[in-house]
Amino acid sequence: MVTAVPTSPALDVPPLAGFTVGVTAARRAEELGTMLERRGAAVLHGPALRIVPVADDTRLEGATRDLIARPPDITVATTGIGYRGWVEAADGWGVGEDLLAALGSGTLLARGPKARGAIRASGLVDAWSPPSESSAEVLDHLLAGEAGDVAGKRIAVQLHGEPLPDVVEALEIAGAEVVQIPVYRWLPPADLGPLDRLLDCTLAGGVDALAFTSAPAAAGLLARADERGVRAALIDALRGPVLALAVGPVTAAPLEAVDIRTVQPQRSRLGAMVRTLEGELPARARRLPVAGHRLELRGHAVLVDGELRSVPPAGMALLRALARRPGRVVARVDLLRALPGGGDDEHAVETAIARLRTALGRPKLVQTVVKRGYRLALDPAVGPVPVGGHCVHGEPR
């Protein structure tokens, strides 16, 4: 008979303690990182893109002046920050009032509540907004004739950091003249160092989850991995031990396109995203009853009877190797192969095991089997609790 091990950690242990989360965002990265750290996570920031400031974007200025000269029949605002930045930039060029007059002369559609709020804050009123906050639903609304026949109409589409080729093509096929407004553009980061460190740490097993808040960031990470020749390895990691967390379906699209399953909140908000992670990562932890204690293996730490214990990378690597065969003897030579960097000196295993015992604070959890190796002292009457996706990772330090 298998007895379940309680899965709830001590109340004073934050839900993400012991896990490492990679943040790929450029915008609002600090806000997301703070939210994660408050919940106990270690955060590794590697922006996969940078934003061209709208006031410095000559393409945007040219498109804005063209729109003022020939006002649109319909304008689609896709993001609040993008719409506000556009109006502020136009003010800086001395044509802010002219832009609002041009947009107000036609119909305004907002992709979501933030875009709607920005439109109304500028003194204009939107005619419609989809409940799903989806560009696809905006397109359906236009093509269904609910906004009037689009044939022959001039439609301005405020882009939100990346092209919308499907939307533009569908409208053009329907006979509309589409003006794309690149309110802000994504470019590769000026300093690739942090992104490369995040990539290296992910491939080395040092990241438990990667958080994506925009489709360009997801595409940018894949592109950088391709440039470095590690795209296949990154995809394998994101299909397996590393959880891919996306703020919504638009953000997830570049990952889903290469068969990477993503976890998404029901509402596309940072807070909901973090709450989703709070449930997902602890559920992936490996839990074992060992020598009368409860062990929960997290990314770079272990909960022992609900107490968080930080474990050095070498010790964590050995603990994961032992946990893959709980209760069974694992030979020194196999443990040696599990150590970061490998090697041929079995004394390194003894040293790492000693440090592991010290870190766990319960020396009897790991037993020495003379002349054979080591084993986790799995309680004989209790089996390990099965948990899906229970690969565990430690952050290189």
Same domain, 98 and 128: yes
Q: How far apart are CA 120 and CA 171, in angstroms?
A: 26
Residues 162, 205, single domain; the answer is no
Tell me the residue range of the domain where 359 lies: 286-376
The reply to whether 3 falls in a domain is no
Residue 395, domain member (yes or no): no
Per the document, the length of the chain is: 397
Q: Smallest Cα–Cα separation from 267: which of 247, 287, 281, 292? A: 247
End position of a domain, from candidates 152, 186, 220: 186
The CATH number of residue 66's host domain is 3.40.50.10090
Residue-wise DSSP of 156-185: EEE--SS--HHHHHHHHHTT-EEEEE-SSE
Q: Are residues 181 and 229 in the same domain?
A: no
Per-residue pLDDT of the chain (397 residues; tens, 9 = 90+): 333 444 444 448 999 999 999 999 987 899 999 999 999 999 999 999 987 766 667 888 999 999 999 999 999 999 888 899 899 999 999 999 999 999 999 999 999 888 999 999 999 999 999 987 788 889 999 998 766 689 999 999 998 766 677 889 999 999 999 999 988 777 889 999 999 999 999 999 999 999 999 888 999 999 999 999 999 999 999 999 999 999 988 789 899 999 999 999 988 789 999 999 999 999 999 999 999 999 999 999 999 999 999 999 999 999 999 999 999 999 999 999 999 877 677 889 999 999 999 999 998 999 999 989 999 999 875 544 444 333 333 333 2
Beta-carbon contacts of 362 under 8 Å, excluding residues fewer than 6 positions away, are 291, 293, 304
* Whether residue 70 is found in the same domain as residue 153: yes
pTM greater than 0.85:
no
Which residues have C-beta within 8 Å of that of residue 290, sequence separation ≥ 6? Answer: 326, 365, 376, 377, 378, 379
Query: CB neighbours (10 Å) of residue 158?
Result: 25
What span, in angstroms and rounded, lies between the C-alpha atoms of 395 and 310? Answer: 11
In a domain, 4, yes or no: no
Sheet holding 154-158, edge to edge: 107-110, 74-77, 154-158, 177-181
Q: Is residue 262 part of a domain?
A: yes
CA distances from 276 to 149, 267, 387 (A): 41, 10, 17
The domain boundary residue, chosen from 243, 266, 284: 284
Strands 286-290 and 74-77: unpaired
Residues 315 and 203 in one domain: no
- Closest Cα to residue 322, out of 386, 260, 269, 369? 369
Q: Final residue of a domain: which of 250, 284, 318?
A: 284
Check: CB of residue 302 under 8 Å from CB of residue 393: no
Residues 120, 235, single domain; the answer is no
Note whether 167 and 43 are same-domain residues: no
| Helix axes of 249-256 and 215-227: crossing angle, nearest 10 degrees | 20
CATH number at 334 reads: 1.10.10.10
Backbone angles phi, psi at 303, to 5 degrees: -90, 120
Going from the C-alpha of 62 to that of each of 56, 94, 161, 181, 375, the distances in angstroms are: 12, 13, 17, 10, 69
Evaluate whether residue 366 is within a structural domain: yes
Number of domains the chain is built from: 3
Is residue 111 within 8 A of residue 133, CB to CB? The reply is yes
